[in-house]
Structures are given as C-alpha cells and as structure tokens.
Amino acid sequence: MPTPHDIDPRRPAHLATNRASRRRFLGGGAAAAAALVLGPSFLTACGSDSGSGSTDTAPPDDGSPATGTLRISNWPYYMADGFVAAFQTASGLTVDYKEDFNDNEEWFAKFKEPLSRKQDIGADLVIPSEFMAARLMNLGWLNEISEERVPNKKNLRTDLVDAAIDPGRKFLAPYMSGMVGIAYNKAATGRPITSLDDLWDPAFRGQVSLLSDMQDGLGLVMLAQGSSLDDPSIESIQKAVDLIREHKDSGQIRRFTGNDYGDDLAAGNVVIAQAYSGDVVQLQADNPDLEFVVPDSGGTWFIDNQVIPYTTQNQKGAEAWIDYVYDRPNYAKLVAATQFVPVLSDMTDELAKIDPAIAGNPLVNPPSDVLAKLHAWPALSDEQTQEFNAAYATITGG
Amino acid sequence: MAGVATSGRQRSRIAPYLMILPALAYLAIFFVIPFWSLFRTSLSTSGGSVYLPTLTFAWDFGNYAEAFTTYQEQIFRSLGYALTATVVCLLISYPLAYVIAFKSGRFKSLLLGLVILPFFVTFLIRTLAWKTILADDGVVVSALGSIGLLPEEGRLLSTSWAVIGGLIYNWVIFMILPLYVSLEKIDARLLEASRDLYSSSFRAFRKVILPLSMPGVIAGSMLVFIPAVGDFINADYLGSTQTTMIGNVIQKQFLVVKDYPAAAALSFMLMALILAGVLSYTKALGTEDLV
C-alpha cells in the first residue's frame, strides 16, 4: 500500500485518516461489537460473582405516621391522572412513581439476584401479577402488610380475601383484576368474533397476535381445547403449545406480544389479538372499531397485586399507599381510568358518581353470563411454572 | 517504520506498557472475565432451586448440541439476514462514499454531516418509525399495492425484508464511514498516473481505487455484519414469528426461560461462527492488516 507523502490540508480533521487512527477506530468498533455479542455474559458474571450485602432498613414500628419518599414501580397505563399528586397531598409523602414494570419474568430475571442478597431494588412497592407475587412470597422476599395500617382492606372483594394462594391476603394486596380474552377490529374482521377458533381463520393470516406470557397465552387455547385449568398437566400444556406451533409455522400468528399488542391492534397491523380487558377500552380512544370479547370456550382472570419487597425503605409509606388505594372513592378514579375490574366490593355507586357509563360497562362490571365463562389459574408449583414456561418459550422465543 | 525506543533507558522501555495498562485492565475486567464466566456457564449444568439455580461446571457439551439442534433455524437465519444486510450496505455505501470522497468538492463536510445526522436520533425511535412507515394500513403499502408491487403476503411490516431493511438502515453508517476514510486518503496523483498510462476509468477503478479501498470494505463489512448478526431489536419490532433471530432466542433464554447454560452455549456458538466468518473473509480478501 503506498504511503501518502504529504497530508491534504482539506482533509476533515474529525476523520483523521492515517493508518494508526483508523486502526484505533476499528478496534473501538470491534470492541463495541464484541460487547454487543457478549452482552449476556456480563449478566452472568454479575449474577454469579458479586459479593453479598444487606441493606434492610425497614423501620421498626413506633406508631408514627409514614414520612419520606415512596418509590412505586408499576405497569404502564395503570394509573389515573392526578391520583399520585392527590395521594401526596393527603399523606404528606413524596412519591417517586415509575412505570417500569413491563414483564413479570423479565422483572424477576433482573431483580432476583439483588433480592436474594436483600439489596435495595429501587422500589418500595411493586405490582406484579398474582403468580409472580406468589413466587416472591414463597421465596420469602415480601414483607407482611400490616392489617392495622391498612384498615380499608375490609373493602376487598370477599372472593379475593379467601385466596388459596395467600389466605387472608397478608402479603398480596390486589390492585386490579381483569379478563384475558380476545380483542378484534370489527371493521377489519367484518363479523363479530365469538370463538377462539376465529384466531385460526385463514382470512386473518398474519394478522393475529398472541400473548407471550405463559398463563395468559395458553389459558384461552387450553380452554378451547376442552382442557381444564384447575389442575393443568404438562400434556394439556403441550397440546396447546402444539396447536399454537402449527399456526405459528403456517404464518397465521404474526407476533407474540407482551403488553405491547395494543400498538399493532390500534394501527391495524393486527386485527385479532389475545388481550386484557381494560386495555381495549383505553385503545378504543385511538380506534373505535376495537371490541373485546370473552370467547365462548372461556377466558381467564388475571390479578395484579401490590407487594412490599423485604428490601423496602418505606414500609409504612407503602401501607399508607395501599390503604389510600383501598378507599372506595379513590379507587373509583383508578378504575375509571384503567377500565379494569375492581378488586373492591360494592363499587357501582362510587363509579356512577364519576360516570354512570363506567358503572354499567360490562368490561368493568362483567354480567353473570360472562363471569360464568371466566376461569382462574391455580397456584402452580415452581417446577410446573418452569416446565410450562419452557414449553411455551420454544415457540414464542424462536 | 521505527521500532520501539532504541535508547537503552529503562524508563522509555516501560513507558509503552504503562500506557496500555488501563486498556489492558479494561479488557481484563470487561472482556476476559465475563468471557471466561460465560464459557464456564455454557458448559455447566443447572440444578438446585428453580428460581435461584446453582450452576455446576461439568464440561457439559450436550448444551451446545441441544442448543444447536433446537435453534439452528434461527442461527442460519441470522447469518443470512446479516450477510444480506452487509452486501446491500456495501452496494449502497460504496458509490456514496466514492462521491463524497472524490466528487463532492466543497460540499464534502455537508454531505458527511447529512450522513451522520439521522444517527443523532436514538436507535429505538428510528426503528419504531419504520414500524409506522411500513404499517399495513400505511401509505407505503397502499402505494405499492395500487401499482401491484406488493409482495405475496400483502404486507411489508413483519416480513424478512422489513427486518433486513431495519438492519441495513441501522448499521449502514458503519459501512459508509470506513469506506469514506479509505477512499478519501487515496492519492489523486495515482489516478493521474493511471490515466497517463492510458488506463480507462473502469480499469483505473478496478486496478487502483478498489484495491486501495479494500481495508475500508473489510472494516465496514465487519462493523455491519458482526452487530447485525446478534441484533434482536429489528427482529422484535419489524419482524414476525417467522423472522426471529438468534439474538431473540438468547434474550428469551436468559430472561424468561432462565436456562443460562443454553443461552451461554448459543452465545458462544454465535461468537465462533462470527469469528470463523470474519477470518475466512479477511483471508479471502487478503488483508493481513486487520487480523
């Protein structure tokens, strides 16, 4: 390679072109590329080699009111405008509210190491789904919620208090419940959707999305196959997985989604999707053609729970929050905004005060024929969850 | 070229090593240790509790065999996508870099600035913007549909082409810049000389410019191919269930299934494949400069 004898003065200084500097440039690029490829290794390294430390600072109970800052980590679109501000005014607490809880399993993968070492995870109150909340409880990573400091707990629906998963709801405080069913774009389907088999209609090829969460994704399919959710076996799981795989391979299923199915649905890329009830009401604002239905063969319940990790820095603040949420007039504002099914009993009057239409909305207040079609997953053992997750992930992740 | 200091003084002999010490320490902490840890993980078996598994190092090569048989489709798809993206990037970038380097005159800085400008916007936003542009109900699809140019599926989003297009768009700058740098430093007098010797323009390009720009071609190809093959964002946002890449699988294995040995084995296999590809590529093009 010939060496230039003199440097061209017009050469831009910011892109120095001698061999040595290009090599440096390349080296940096290669290192960046390696870091990209090696990304997961950092995760493992951090996971297995870090030291231990405890930052348990839960204050002893001296009967004083909650003070300071409360850090809440919640799902996106799960809050009413002005609610946090109203709580701050009422309680005198400062709330650091983050919508950074996006996926149960990913959240768990991120925080299980610090939690196992009892290190602060940057949140004093978290709102995972029921199965994840139960997992955290069984691992001993949750603080009990004081009955005394949450007197409004008496407003909980009785069917929720009697949960087999956490008798008396000592650790898991339900935040919102809702239905997993089918959302569809009636203008695009051209007909009402009633059955889960409609997902496999060749007319909708490439315009169907399924939920990647194991329970939410497989539940509806298993019910449509006549499998019971009461005591799910790996055979019934596998049967549902096989059916979904067939439709994935044929190109029927466009995507497996988390909470992000709404964008594709509202934009018209997907015309029929597994969906969460309240989301659809919110999405109707963008696209009035969207409808939510619980299929004939059945839908499932989900419950998201407020839990206090044992690494919390503000136990009393978290309890004050839960008590505030469990006050019916306050809770009515949350339900009106999220349009999910209330976890408190006798909400009709309070909802009607905000908007009579909400009180009568079948998605917020499901009629008895819909309630009869809804099933709930039982508490699965750790081994079951892992086995079922792995079975479903073979198609959602590849 | 002069070697290291020729004087016998101890200090100047140590100085270069001292100067690379921070870089070596960085490399050890952020590359060698994680690399070793990942390697051990890939050959471990996991046991103990489900959610806090203990990894036991066991020379378990079965992890590799199993991961490969289960996910070979995604591995080969990723290689295919990345290769296609690299070739298209090269075809787009070479004429562009050539024009900027030789023909742009006083607009050179402006053109370079324009090339870099879109990359001030974050990667994620740019990728999501493509989702809007290519949407099934979008302008592009309806325009192509009305002139009968729509592919078989009747859509652009969630196809292999959308994913490859995303890879091209997001990584093309890493092809343009090294190409520009290698073209720009070519001495114009060499071209004059080739003309003096009655060379045609095409022949001058083939015999002078192309060989001299080869380091740029190789550097650019690697800078595009390597990140593209492990990318999962484009496949996630612009793809469908038919277009998952190996990056998506690794992400899912680490974060959802939590099968760390399988995920580590997949990462290692990917690295090995990339390394083999890069080595044979540079060998074929004959630049000893880069390896």
Exposed, middle or buried: residue A283 (CB in 10 Å: 0-12, 13-18, 19+)? buried
Residue A159, pLDDT score: 86
Q: Based on the fold, state whether residues B25 and B141 are members of the same structural domain.
A: no
Determine, for residues A109 and B52 on separate chains, whether the beta-carbon distance falls below 8 Å. Answer: no
Does the residue B56 lie in any domain? no
Residue B230, pLDDT score: 94
Confidence band for B259, pLDDT divided at 50, 70 and 90: confident
Tell me the per-residue pLDDT of B124-159, one tens digit each, with 9 for 90 and over.
Answer: 999 999 999 999 888 888 888 888 887 767 889 999
Q: Based on the fold, state whether residues B133 and B27 are members of the same structural domain.
A: no
The stretch B25-31 carries a mean pLDDT of 93
Helices (H), B99-240: 108-116, 123-133, 139-146, 160-171, 173-184, 188-196, 201-204, 210-230, 233-238
Determine, for residues A269 and B254 on separate chains, whether the beta-carbon distance falls below 8 Å. Answer: no
Chain A residues touching B190 at Cβ < 8 A:
2
Determine, for residues B112 and A2 on separate chains, whether the beta-carbon distance falls below 8 Å. Answer: no
Residue A211: strand pairing partners? A257
pLDDT lower than 50: segments of chain A = 1-59
Domain count within chain B: 2
| Chain centre to alpha carbon of residue A85 | 23
- Asked if A12 reaches chain B (Cβ–Cβ under 8 Å), the answer is yes
End-to-end CA distance of chain A: 46
Q: Do domains A69-177+303-364 and A178-301+380-396 have the same CATH topology?
A: yes
Question: Domain limits at B204?
Answer: 74-285
Q: Based on the fold, state whether residues B26 and B87 are members of the same structural domain.
A: no
Nearest by Cα to A250 from A208, A214, A220: A208
The answer for A 367-396 residues in CB contact with B (under 8 A) is 382-383, 385-386, 389-390, 393-396
Determine, for residues B212 and A1 on separate chains, whether the beta-carbon distance falls below 8 Å. Answer: yes
> Which CATH number, 3.40.50.2300, 3.40.190.10, 3.40.50.1820, 3.40.30.10, labels domain A69-177+303-364?
3.40.190.10
Determine, for residues A38 and B49 on separate chains, whether the beta-carbon distance falls below 8 Å. Answer: no
Cα gap B27→B24, rounded to integer Å: 5
| Chain centre to alpha carbon of residue B45 | 32
CB neighbourhood size of A32 (10 A): 14
Main-chain dihedrals φ then ψ at residue A86, nearest 5 degrees: -65, -40
CB neighbourhood size of A155 (10 A): 17
Cα gap A119→A115, rounded to integer Å: 6
Does the residue B202 lie in any domain? yes
ipTM: 0.78
pTM: 0.80
Ramachandran assignment for A342, one of left (phi > 0), alpha (psi -120 to 50 degrees), beta (any other): beta
Cα gap B124→A375, rounded to integer Å: 38
Q: What is the domain class of A178-301+380-396 according to CATH?
A: alpha beta
Q: Based on the fold, state whether residues B25 and B150 are members of the same structural domain.
A: no
Q: Which is more confident, B63 or B3? A: B63
Cα gap A22→B49, rounded to integer Å: 50
CB neighbourhood size of B23 (10 A): 11
* Domain coordinates in residue numbering, chain A: 69-177+303-364, 178-301+380-396
Chain B residues touching A273 at Cβ < 8 A:
none
Cα gap B4→A226, rounded to integer Å: 78
Chain B residues touching A18 at Cβ < 8 A:
185
Write the CATH number for B129: 1.10.3720.10
The stretch B245-263 carries a mean pLDDT of 89
Q: Based on the fold, state whether residues B127 and B8 are members of the same structural domain.
A: no
Exposed, middle or buried: residue A221 (CB in 10 Å: 0-12, 13-18, 19+)? buried
Q: Based on the fold, state whether residues B93 and B235 are members of the same structural domain.
A: yes
Cα gap A106→A258, rounded to integer Å: 11
Does the residue B45 lie in any domain? no
Main-chain dihedrals φ then ψ at residue A305, nearest 5 degrees: -120, 140
Q: Based on the fold, state whether residues B273 and B157 are members of the same structural domain.
A: yes
Residue B9, pLDDT score: 62
**CA of A136: which chain B residue's CA is closest?**
B51
Test the A interface: residue of B133, B241, B279 with most A CBs within 10 Å: B241
Does the residue B84 lie in any domain? yes
Chain B residues touching A251 at Cβ < 8 A:
153, 240, 242
Looking at the predicted structure, is the pLDDT value of residue B113 above 60? yes
Nearest by Cα to A90 from A72, A62, A66, A64: A66
Residue B255, pLDDT score: 83
User: Which whole-number Å values give the CA distances from A391 to A212, A244, A247, A396, B246, in the listed order?
Assistant: 12, 11, 16, 9, 18
Question: How does the average pLDDT of chain B come out, rounded?
Answer: 89
Residue A31, pLDDT score: 37
Residue B48 DSSP class: E
Three-state secondary structure string covering A10-54: CCCHHHCCCHHHHHHHHHHHHHHHHHHHHHHHHHHHHHHHCCCCC
